[in-house]
Structure 1
């Protein structure tokens, strides 16, 4: 039996829940409402087909934040998250490209990479190469003028930390951005790429190995091994590069995600802010960190 937790527009929600359960009845699945906590409705459905359950939710409920899991959710011991368009509202390389006057060109490559249409490393190296000659000072200017955390990011991180959760920011972006973003939001560890700089300008290359989807997954597995066999994990991301990490986590959160990433996750946030993660985990608002 699967546990389904949903946050949706309360207007007409009771009727939509009835329609959802009717759709499950048509498939031969029994269901019950476990609780209706106002902000969140929790149901049980006698199916193990997570993908099909999610399809019926999309059809009958509409835009929602939700979680479908076979295991009762608990506060995780590890929270690992992507940065760009997940913890922050921007794609850093696209915004940095604007200072070189080539944002549309780079943003088009970024979008295709996030959709899973391009090899991530090749796309990254191509975009970084186009920034060759840009003054290093543009990074700090971009960070100050353009980069902002998504609503609820710091509340989520600080709340989970207060409950004994290790927090890791892992990004296919760059330490020049990720280190200050992590400090602002509260992450304890940062894994990312490094832009190569010489004589105060970007060389168009990277300094060190590329952080790609396999590295994101391996960082999750490394942290989980250190925490022990009974630890649980929560991962968040939005693009194709996050899919292996989302798949490997006990709860994979697709935040305003591209279709392939959304389909791979068992938790999704399509309408609310990042604090929906805390609601779906069952963490009461009075236990949220003040920021």
Structure 2
């Protein structure tokens, strides 16, 4: 590894395997640009789970996370659309929005509009039949809570799903969009303000303000609308992410599950809530 990094102009100051039940190699550099370190690891050792930090890594006091394709393995609106028989049509728009090819709000309103007339009961069925937590999601959230972190689920998805997911996984607060319902059916509109990329960043900033300027924060996400909070967090993790979100992160999980974040934060497995 030292030769490979040296070939990229990066010199390792020290290297050690952390001894707490996980295979984590900790590298220290006397002087190195984090972006160059990430790029070099990508070039020579991908796929790998990694975190690059300018300071000593500590357990965060705040954890803010995206929901769809991050804390759960699905995109809720795509799965809900299947009950209306238009999953492929909506999934294509979702993918382009998460890649950053479409304006998030416009894409969201377009997809919600296509669900007009769908019975509200389909949401409960979708939750029961389709929605599953990502591997390690509950362990990550509950472990961080055990260590004193405040946990916030902030999603461009919908409260109909996020409230249940947040409760299941142990989040203290849930922020999301609201589907408008009338006479037991979706109206094809949203109720209230939009939760988008700017909202995610502002929620992180608002929570940090309550905790104090010295608090460390962790943000996880996978799509373009997560970039602002990933960049704003002390530790911004891209989980199995789209390229633009991955490029914005100083932490990446490409190989393992969400508990890889705990390992990279230096939390021993004996301290995990399982």
Per the shorter chain, which TM-score range?
A: over 0.9
Aligned pairs (5 A) from 1:146-157: 146-157=130-141
Contact 1:33 1:41 in 2 (8 A): no
Query: Are 1:109 and 2:90 matched, yes or no?
Result: no
Instruction: Give the alignment's Cα RMSD to 1 decimal.
Output: 1.0
For residues 159-192 of structure 1, the C-alpha deviation after alignment (integer angstroms, 9 at most, x for no partner) is 1001110000000000000000001000010000
Query: Are 1:93 and 2:77 matched, yes or no?
Result: yes
Q: Whole-Å Cα distance in 2 between the matches of residues 82 and 126 of structure 1?
A: 21
Q: Which moved more, 1:170-179 or 1:64-73?
A: 64-73
1:7 is aligned to none
Task: Specify which structure has the bigger relative contact order, considering alpha-carbon pairs within 8 angstroms and separated by 6 or more residues.
Answer: 2
Query: Are 1:248 and 2:232 matched, yes or no?
Result: yes
- Cα shift at 1:32: 3.6
Q: Whole-Å Cα distance in 1 between the matches of residues 163 and 229 of structure 2?
A: 21
- Cα shift at 1:34: 3.0
1:53 is aligned to 37
Alignment TM-score, normalising by the size of structure 2:
0.97
Alignment TM-score, normalising by the size of structure 1:
0.91
Q: Whole-Å Cα distance in 2 between the matches of residues 226 and 112 of structure 1?
A: 35
SS in 2 for 1:64: coil
Q: Which residue, out of 146, 155, 158, partners 1:174? A: 158
For residues 20-60 of structure 1, the C-alpha deviation after alignment (integer angstroms, 9 at most, x for no partner) is x2133234432144311361101113443222211110111
Q: Which moved more, 1:137-146 or 1:67-76?
A: 67-76
Contact 2:116 2:188 in 1 (8 A): yes
Count how many residue pairs are aligned between Structure 1 and Structure 2: 271
Contact 2:14 2:29 in 1 (8 A): no
Contact 1:178 1:190 in 2 (8 A): yes
Q: Which residue, out of 166, 170, 192, partners 1:208? A: 192
Q: Which residue, out of 262, 266, 271, partners 2:255? A: 271
Q: Whole-Å Cα distance in 2 between the matches of residues 24 and 83 of structure 1?
A: 35
Contact 1:129 1:205 in 2 (8 A): yes
Q: Whole-Å Cα distance in 2 between the matches of residues 240 and 196 of structure 1?
A: 25
Contact 2:13 2:30 in 1 (8 A): no
SS in 1 for 2:141: helix
2:104 is aligned to 120
Structure 1: runs of 5 or more not aligned: 1-16
Q: Whole-Å Cα distance in 2 between the matches of residues 131 and 278 of structure 1?
A: 38
SS in 1 for 2:68: coil
2:178 is aligned to 194
